[in-house]
Structure 1
């Protein structure tokens, strides 16, 4: 399949306003991609099996067929593809697709972790911490978090930060927790920013600084992170670290609630 040729043609059609033709060519490209993958998939190529499974799951270039997609993912996983293992973990952890099975979810993520996949390592850690599909074991959770964080998975870095800040499986150590949060933020994960903000708001291991806390909450809020929006809203509601502004507080909470934040909805009820 000449992908570059397809992309050029489709881009030109969109630029010319020929949208119907452009979408038809997109479908042609997807069909060509599916055909291109069939040979390698039949030969047992794990990447092709996984990629073809994605097409069947979404009905792109082929007729949508969820059972076929799952079958292809399992073949890919059995061939050692950790992306497929992680995908199966997600599917078994989803209550909406008829596959929900906590033990299977954990088993696939653990298999991925044991195969050395950094995402699988993080997920194995989080499931051990939560006791999801396996007996809760914070020591094993920490073991997997450390392996994943060593490979710059920011969610694992934040999870380690949480463990140190709250003393989960380790002695409480605000400084170490802060360093993990800062590392995650430096790598672009602003879920670490609102956590840092809480350290400054509470004075945990740092000098209490409401203004700095508000700035850190704002960074997370501007990135669309609900917890950042909720925490910044509280600052506006109380006039802490920022000038009191109930209207801004309400606007932030409504923004977070719009995307399903139960915490924001609860805060709105208090206004």
Structure 2
């Protein structure tokens, strides 16, 4: 009986010591999460100084996402002076906790030599950690390193494998680079068309623009200039400056649409406003063919489009 009472007493002592520690740990976790959520609200409002304060509060309590976003602020210089060394320091803390965004960021810092010496081998290691967790952007980055032979010999099979994993998750940049690989070396172009079509149906501007290019060139699909123009228009209305330029060119030449130099002016000008050099050059050349009245009408359309699509 005495032994039993002693064991009960011992358990009670352990409980009394352990429970406050558990409660304190839970409380710290709640405080860190609340600070992070508040910081994210400030970040969305472009109040980077307040966001930084919240991220720091959570990051010092080992909140991985807060550590990542604090690194991001230093990486791009929002609310703080740009400091790649500090960015790497915070990215690394989050990456070691397994946060895929931070692992990918570490890969990019080593690839580009920002805050660390360039090291393709380490870049691939970090990209791989995130890629193996299914992070599409890291899968794309890893695939491109294999494609260019960075950090080792070129390995197109590995490149295709990782790009395909990212493409299957809907990453349009991976789908595009697979298209280039398949075009040059043979491959399933129909699959690329299917990916672009799915993305286009989901209003992805890049997918719409790439699918438009396939219709324009007749690659993987039957050539259809009207369909190309339609898809370029959808992407252009979402702000894709390359699609805006291409649509302007189609109106100038009457490809897939009736020739209309005023509409051509509109789309060249909208694209030129995004500092697209090709559009700037095309617009200057087009102005020599238009009367002052036509240019005025084109400018009216530009203002009308800008007001509608930048609200």
Shared fold by TM > 0.5? Answer: yes
Q: Counterpart in 1 of 2:257?
A: 242
User: Which shifted more, 26-35 or 251-260?
Assistant: 26-35
Alignment check: 8 A CA contact 1:56 1:65 kept: yes
In the other structure, the counterpart of 1:18 is: none
**What are structure 2's unaligned runs of at least 5 residues?**
1-30, 287-311
Q: Give the aligned partner of residue 251 of structure 1.
A: 266
Aligned counterparts, 1:1-271, within 5 A: 27=49, 30-38=52-60, 40-41=61-62, 46-57=64-75, 58=77, 60=79, 66-92=84-110, 101=118, 103=120, 105-131=123-149, 135-164=153-182, 166=183, 168-171=184-187, 173-265=188-280, 267-268=282-283, 271=286
Structure 1 contact 197–212 (Cα < 8 Å) conserved:
yes
CA distance in 2 between partners of 1:198 and 1:137 (Å): 28
Would the alpha carbon gap of residues 80 and 205 (structure 1) be closer, same or farther in structure 2, given more than 3 Å must change?
closer
In structure 1, how many angstroms separate the alpha carbons of the residues matched to 2:281 and 2:148? Answer: 24
Tell me the TM-score normalized by structure 1: 0.72
Compare CA radii of gyration and give the structure with the larger one: 2
SS of aligned partner of 1:181:
helix
Residues in 1 aligned to 2:64 and 2:58: alpha-carbon distance in whole angstroms: 14
* 1:211 shift after superposition: 1.4
Contact 1:59 1:65 in 2 (8 A): no
Contact 1:161-1:180 at 8 Å conserved across structures: no
- Whole-Å separation in 1 of the counterparts to 2:123 and 2:150: 8
Q: 1:86 to 1:266 in 2, by over 3 A?
A: farther
Matches of 1:110 and 1:258, distance apart in 2: 39
C-alpha separation in 2, matches of 1:237 and 1:127: 40
- For 2:277 and 2:145, locate their aligned partners in 1 and report how far apart those are by CA, in whole Å: 22
Per the TM alignment, residue 231 of structure 1 is displaced from its structure 2 partner at its CA by 1.5
Larger CA deviation: 63-72 vs 235-244: 63-72
Contact residue 35 and residue 58 of structure 2 kept, 8 A: no
Contact residue 154 and residue 187 of structure 1 kept, 8 A:
no
Please list every run of 5 or more consecutive structure 1 residues that lacks an aligned counterpart in the other structure: 11-21
Using the TM superposition, give the Cα deviation of residue 54 of structure 1 relative to its aligned residue in structure 2, in angstroms.
3.3
RMSD, matched Cα = 3.7
Partner secondary structure for residue 244 of structure 1: coil
* Distance change (3 Å), C-alpha of 1:200 and 1:114: same
- 8 Å Cα contact 1:161/1:181 also seen in 2: no
User: 1-side partners of 2:137 and 2:243: how far apart?
Assistant: 24
* Structure 1 residue 202 displacement after superposition: 2.9
Aligned length, in residue pairs: 248
Residue 239 of structure 1: how far off its partner (Å): 0.9
Moved over 6 A (4+): 3-7
- Quick one: distance in 1 between partners of 2:258 and 2:205? 23
CA contact (8 A) 1:160 1:180 kept: no
The corresponding residue for 2:4 is none
C-alpha distance in structure 2 between counterparts of 1:198 and 1:251, whole Å: 21
Task: Answer yes or no: is the 8 Å Cα contact 2:215–2:228 preserved in 1.
Answer: yes
CA-to-partner distance for each residue in 1:95-125, whole Å, 9 max, x for gaps? Answer: 8x67683725555334432443222101212
